[in-house]
Structure 1
Amino acid sequence: MNKITNELFSDFIQLARTALTGRQQDVQLVIHRASKKFKQDYPELTESLVSLLQESPTRTTPLRKHSETPLPVDLDSRLQLLKVESSVLDNELIVSENIKNDLSQLLSERRNSKALMKHGLHPTKSVLFTGPPGVGKTMAAKWVASQLDKPLLVLDLAAVMSSFLGRTGNNIRFVLDYAKKTDCILLLDELDSIAKRRDDSSEIGELKRLVTVLLQEIDDWPASGILMAATNHPDLLDPAIWRRFELVVNFDNPTADQIEKQVTSLLRDEMEDANTWGKILSFVLLGKSFSEIERQINLTRKAAAIDGSSLADKLENMIVSGEGLSKEQRTQIACALYDSGVVTQRKAQELTGVARETIRKHAKRQLNKSNI
């Protein structure tokens, strides 16, 4: 089978597997992803799939195996306290080698839990993700859940905070008790909103008691499940929280190589030269988070679709506009673009506004360094 046929075969199997679980939102996501992948080679197929998606109603993804047990709700507002995340990833998980090793170790322990138990050991049951917003913490949790074929339940701790802290405590207990009895992975998002330092004089006693309750729950978490937590502000966490988590995974903003991989992935179905643009934009978008990059690329794609213009022209505008870029940064980008071999000196000048003479001088200095 050729490459396209292989991909069609693989996607069909994934669609069938997802459909058999009865999770409608997951099925829709798989179809949406396939419609993008085969847009260039099978435009009629893409149009048909898009039409089906537009006709299909949406609904909340049910909890497999536990649909008969309703999700916990706030007793006053009757709003659900948990969100069930789809187990199908929109994009490829892109992380550093260290994070990949940590997540692989977590999966290996879960898949070999019987071997661990023979030696009186249990698989890791509590994981803390730290790092700035948009760097892949939630996606990593979704990826682990998808690999273990378990539903991911997310509790946004900032969202359940109530003006009546006693009610907040009850809500958290409801959620934790529910998750303990369910074959799932629980993610506590915005952990710092509750698990703040207990020596913080600005915090009232009830909130400090919540931290104590949370510590006890982490200690008592059953080895059969995984409790994950995420924070954008690790410096605010109570020191005792750190000791409770068996695994701490630190996320950072993506490197240039990771940005190149992400941009290439986002543009692969739209452009033949996606690899080149991945290299170019990796210099321009350095310092941004994965979510910021995805948002910017998608806005550019939408603008090109609405105007009926070339996506390449819109991407070039991202460089030409250079929002927030200093003269020094533009020079660094121009020289990096030329050094990478993906553009000529003239093209680097057109995109960044940096004089070709400046680029030539930089190239000459680099050549002299390599000859030393």
Structure 2
Amino acid sequence: MDQILKDLSIDFIQLARTALTGRQQDVQLIIHRASKKFKEFNPELTESLIALLHESPTRTTPLRKHAETPLPVDLDSRLQLLRLESNIPDHEPILADRIQSGLNQVLSERRNTKALLKHGLNPTKSILFNGPPGVGKTMAAKWIAAKLNKPLLILDLAAVMSSFLGRTGNNIRFVLDYAKNTDCILLLDELDAIAKRRDDSTEIGELKRLVTVLLQEIDDWPSTGLLIAATNHPDLLDPAVWRRFEMVLNFDNPSTEQIEQQVNVLLRDYLKQTDEWSKILSHVFFGSSFSEIERQINQLRRSAAVEGASLDTKLEQLVTLGSDMTKDQKIELARALYDSGIVSQRRAQQLTGVARETIRKNIKKIKN
């Protein structure tokens, strides 16, 4: 209870600070996050808060007061070239130690700029996130923007890529010039779409010129700003792009321990045996991305709600879907099920197809 009250106090202070800035979408996110903490000991309050969120007039966020001019638009389609992303993640990002260390260094540099200047140094101004989809690249950008208390602007590729020759390059310049003069964090997502290798014979001259424009803009990026780029296809990037970024962070699919942490975060408000299920599902989800895990967990919660079934029952069904596991992985899963105390050896056998004698031998082997 003491920890819940402490967390709520922190949320209330953050809510007050955010409300005073007029950032409606961020206010809604904070209320939604806080409402989940009330659910166990005050469900009526949780329902009231959720009802208020549903009654709110709009979830679109106007440009925050950090910028005095409207977002740049494509001159033909009139589509905005940037979108403003909420910089309050639903939970703290679950990142590998080396990733977290790199981000912490960037934060430390920004908070100690004077110390750097005394030694003739500037803080890191450009970071490249490299890794497969759904492994936390955008979440990391949101987190660092939140920690620096700056809005996160994301390049909208659909609007930037114009059908008119020469217009795409101008759009990129508009976006980067705007971000340079705005107190924000700029995220160039899917960088490989606009910074492809210039030796690719399949690409037209316009896209090759676009890469040159982008390189020049990155070189001229001010040390007062922070540019983050992300790519899912590092092999497509022009080699010169890599040299322009002062820090490169390589993201991977989550480890077993990271999966366990994420599942715990996603289920802790809805299950009593969250720790036990987190250990079990860390085997089921091994090899999956963070976004894929969250998608499957949310689908199970929806299914349980619609059918009036218990979430535990749905999670057991999920375990039976691990048919593409190797024999050793299934044995580890069966042992985790038995060790959890949630199911018996017989039920662990039914769910995984691993014989009870094999489970007992594995348990005995580990104990010895």
TM-score range with shorter-chain normalisation? over 0.9
**8 A contact 1:152–1:186 mirrored in 2:** yes
Shift of 1:35: 1.4
% identical equivalent positions: 72
Q: Secondary structure at the match of 1:115?
A: helix
**8 A contact 1:35–1:50 mirrored in 2:** yes
In 2, Cα distance between the equivalents of 1:160 and 1:360? 60
Shift of 1:203: 1.3
In 1, Cα distance between the equivalents of 2:324 and 2:171? 43
**8 A contact 1:158–1:190 mirrored in 2:** no
**Aligned positions of 1:238-257 closer than 5 A:** 238-257=238-257
In 2, Cα distance between the equivalents of 1:5 and 1:339? 33
Shift of 1:232: 0.2
Shift of 1:326: 5.4
Equivalent residue letter for 2:176: L
Alignment partner, residue 155 of structure 2: 155
**8 A contact 2:195–2:238 mirrored in 1:** yes
Shift of 1:82: 0.4
Q: TM-score, normalised by structure 2?
A: 0.95
Q: Secondary structure at the match of 2:122?
A: coil
Alignment partner, residue 170 of structure 1: 170
Alignment partner, residue 191 of structure 2: 191
Question: Structure 1 residues 74, 201: CA separation in 2 closer, same or farther (over 3 Å shift)?
Answer: same
**8 A contact 2:74–2:159 mirrored in 1:** no
Alignment partner, residue 234 of structure 1: 234
**8 A contact 1:190–1:231 mirrored in 2:** yes
Shift of 1:175: 0.5
Alignment partner, residue 360 of structure 1: 360
Shift of 1:235: 1.0
Alignment partner, residue 262 of structure 1: 262
In 1, Cα distance between the equivalents of 2:308 and 2:59? 33
Q: Which moved more, 1:3-12 or 1:312-321?
A: 3-12
Q: 2:107 aligned with 1:107, yes or no?
A: yes
- CA offsets per residue over residues 153-207 of structure 1, 9 Å max, x none? 0003365223324111111111011001000010001000111111111112111
- CA offsets per residue over residues 89-137 of structure 1, 9 Å max, x none? 1122100110010000000001111111111100000000000000000
Equivalent residue letter for 2:22: G
In 2, Cα distance between the equivalents of 1:106 and 1:56? 36
Shift of 1:320: 1.8
**Aligned positions of 1:1-372 closer than 5 A:** 2-157=2-157, 160-322=160-322, 324-325=324-325, 329-338=329-338, 344-367=344-367, 370=368
In 1, Cα distance between the equivalents of 2:59 and 2:264? 32
Question: Structure 1 residues 159, 172: CA separation in 2 closer, same or farther (over 3 Å shift)?
Answer: same
Shift of 1:327: 5.3
Q: Which moved more, 1:149-158 or 1:189-198?
A: 149-158
Q: TM-score, normalised by structure 1?
A: 0.94
In 2, Cα distance between the equivalents of 1:332 and 1:8? 38
In 2, Cα distance between the equivalents of 1:87 and 1:232? 22
Q: Secondary structure at the match of 1:253?
A: coil
**8 A contact 1:187–1:227 mirrored in 2:** yes
- CA offsets per residue over residues 234-283 of structure 1, 9 Å max, x none? 11111110000000000000000000000001111111211111111000
Equivalent residue letter for 2:49: L
Q: Which moved more, 1:247-256 or 1:356-365?
A: 356-365
In 2, Cα distance between the equivalents of 1:340 and 1:47? 32
Shift of 1:348: 2.2
Q: Secondary structure at the match of 2:358?
A: helix
Equivalent residue letter for 2:166: G
Equivalent residue letter for 1:91: H
Unaligned runs of 5+ in 1: none
In 2, Cα distance between the equivalents of 1:7 and 1:100? 23
Shift of 1:342: 7.0
In 1, Cα distance between the equivalents of 2:315 and 2:299? 10
Q: Secondary structure at the match of 1:25?
A: helix
Question: Structure 1 residues 331, 138: CA separation in 2 closer, same or farther (over 3 Å shift)?
Answer: same
Question: Structure 1 residues 224, 67: CA separation in 2 closer, same or farther (over 3 Å shift)?
Answer: closer
Question: Structure 1 residues 341, 310: CA separation in 2 closer, same or farther (over 3 Å shift)?
Answer: closer
Unaligned runs of 5+ in 2: none
Shift of 1:5: 2.2
**8 A contact 1:280–1:342 mirrored in 2:** no
Shift of 1:212: 0.7
Q: Secondary structure at the match of 1:78?
A: coil
The RMSD of aligned alpha carbons is 1.8
- CA offsets per residue over residues 36-58 of structure 1, 9 Å max, x none? 22111110100110111111011
**8 A contact 1:165–1:207 mirrored in 2:** no
In 1, Cα distance between the equivalents of 2:226 and 2:309? 48
